[in-house]
């Protein structure tokens, strides 16, 4: 791996997707439709599967996406602006994301060794689970400047949380603004203190229109959000559309050099008093990846829950091979 990264180079909007299963293919499809990437390279150990996905992606109406899409290998990582890692075993209905750690850490380690051989530029975005653990380990293995390896983190949890709140209040999801921090998993922390509806704090909004919204309602919303993935997996064995749209939003921030604040996961170094762990916190995302983590004010309860989330992730990280 080159020790010097040229941050002044011209972006080609080249994206490499490692792992072309349902998630990887859905990401490629979303990138194509949104015309965010100029070139998309599909990398998978199953070449015939990758080639079949390529043909399917190419056979849409020509004016709905103009990106060059092709099947490649790890050597194509050279010159990429965004390297997306989706490879790994899928979660089963009775598993937490952290349960996947032992198996997926081996797959991710092998991928990191291949990336090291050909890496010249760009940021590395981890989609595979357990997202926080794999992001932390990949950051260690690649040794890039902090934030250039980061994970999708709680962007999907936040989208789900906003959807559940919107359904309860009978409003459109884009009327609700909130943040979810911590683990992308069971110890995620919805920030009720940051939740608003049409710009009005949620408690004030509910009081104004006489909607009951106490502790019981909050707990039900949180539980529904946490169990959303399990419900989807039980029904169709996998989730992929939601994370593809979230990843597409992140990719736009990176490839368009459009700084955007998102709750993605990266290694913390003192933020919120936490170190040696990767968690989602409000983060400025741009062409340098998770370029700056923001320490926003949160309540004492939210801070306590964030520390508990950090401990849950750190415990798994410490069990993983170096």
Rounded Cα distance, 116 and 180, in Å: 32
Q: Are 23 and 5 in contact (CB under 8 A)?
A: no
Rounded mean pLDDT of 257-266?
96
Percent share of the chain, pLDDT over 90:
85
* Helices 155-169/215-226 angle, 10° precision: 130
Rounded Cα distance, 248 and 237, in Å: 22
- Mean pLDDT across the chain, nearest whole number? 93
- The DSSP element (H or E) to which 243 belongs, if any, is helix 241-255
For residue 162, CA distances in Å to 115, 156, 190, 206, 245 come to 35, 10, 10, 15, 15
Rounded mean pLDDT of 2-14?
60
Q: Given 59, 184, 240, 287, which residue is catalytic?
A: 184
* DSSP annotation string for 101-168: HHHHHHHHHHHHHHHHHH--S-EEEE-SSSHHHHHHHHHHHH-PSTTSEEE-TTHHHHHHHHHHHHHH
184 in catalytic set: yes
Digit-coded pLDDT (tens) for 271-305: 999 999 999 999 999 999 999 999 999 999 999 99
Cβ within 8 Å of residue 51, ≥6 positions away:
71
- 11 band by pLDDT with thresholds 50, 70 and 90: low
- Phi, psi for 109 (deg, rounded to 5): -65, -45
Query: Can you name the residues that pair with 265 across neighbouring β-strands?
Result: 151, 280
Output the pLDDT for position 99.
Answer: 75
Instruction: Name the DSSP letter for residue 257.
Output: T
Does the pLDDT at position 101 exceed 90? no
Residue from 178, 149, 316, 160 nearest 239 by CA? 160
Rounded mean pLDDT of 136-162?
97
Output the pLDDT for position 123.
Answer: 98
Output the pLDDT for position 8.
Answer: 45
Q: Determine how β-strand 82-85 pairs with β-strand 14-18.
A: parallel
Digit-coded pLDDT (tens) for 170-226: 999 999 999 999 999 999 999 999 999 999 999 999 999 999 999 999 999 999 999
Cβ within 8 Å of residue 157, ≥6 positions away:
180, 184, 188, 190, 225, 280
Rounded mean pLDDT of 39-48?
97
Rounded Cα distance, 156 and 179, in Å: 11
Percent share of the chain, pLDDT over 70:
94
Does the pLDDT at position 62 exceed 80? no
Output the pLDDT for position 3.
Answer: 45
Digit-coded pLDDT (tens) for 110-146: 999 999 999 999 999 999 999 999 999 999 999 999 9
């Amino acid at each position: 791996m080159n020790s010097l990264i040229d941050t002044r180079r011209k972006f080609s909007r080249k994206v490499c997707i490692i792992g072309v299963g349902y998630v990887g293919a859905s990401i490629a499809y979303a990138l194509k439709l949104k015309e965010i990437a100029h070139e998309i390279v599909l990398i998978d150990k199953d070449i015939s599967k990758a080639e079949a996905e390529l043909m399917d992606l190419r056979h849409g109406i020509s004016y709905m996406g103009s990106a060059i899409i092709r099947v490649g290998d790890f050597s194509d990582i050279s010159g990429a602006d965004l390297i997306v890692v989706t490879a790994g075993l899928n979660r089963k209905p009775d598993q937490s994301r952290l349960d996947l750690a032992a198996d997926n850490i081996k797959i991710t380690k092998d991928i990191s060794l291949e990336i090291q051989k050909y890496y010249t530029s760009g940021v590395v975005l981890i989609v595979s689970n357990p997202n926080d653990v794999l992001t932390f380990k990949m950051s260690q293995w690649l040794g890039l400047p902090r934030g250039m390896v980061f994970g999708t983190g709680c962007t999907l949890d936040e989208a789900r949380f906003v959807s559940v709140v919107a359904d309860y209040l009978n409003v459109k999801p884009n009327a609700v603004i909130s943040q979810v921090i911590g683990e992308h998993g069971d110890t995620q922390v919805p920030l009720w203190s940051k939740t608003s509806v049409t710009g009005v704090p949620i408690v004030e909004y509910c009081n104004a229109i006489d909607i009951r919204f106490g502790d019981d309602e909050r707990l039900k919303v949180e539980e529904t959000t946490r169990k959303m993935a399990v419900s989807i997996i039980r029904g169709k064995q996998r989730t992929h559309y939601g994370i593809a749209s979230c990843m597409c939003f992140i990719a736009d921030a990176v490839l368009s050099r459009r700084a955007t604040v998102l709750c993605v996961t990266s290694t913390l170094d003192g933020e919120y008093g936490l170190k040696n762990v990767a968690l989602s916190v409000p983060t400025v995302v741009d062409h340098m990846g998770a370029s700056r983590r923001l320490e926003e004010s949160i309540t004492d309860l939210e801070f306590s829950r964030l520390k508990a989330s950090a401990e849950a992730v750190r415990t798994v990280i410490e069990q993983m091979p170096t």
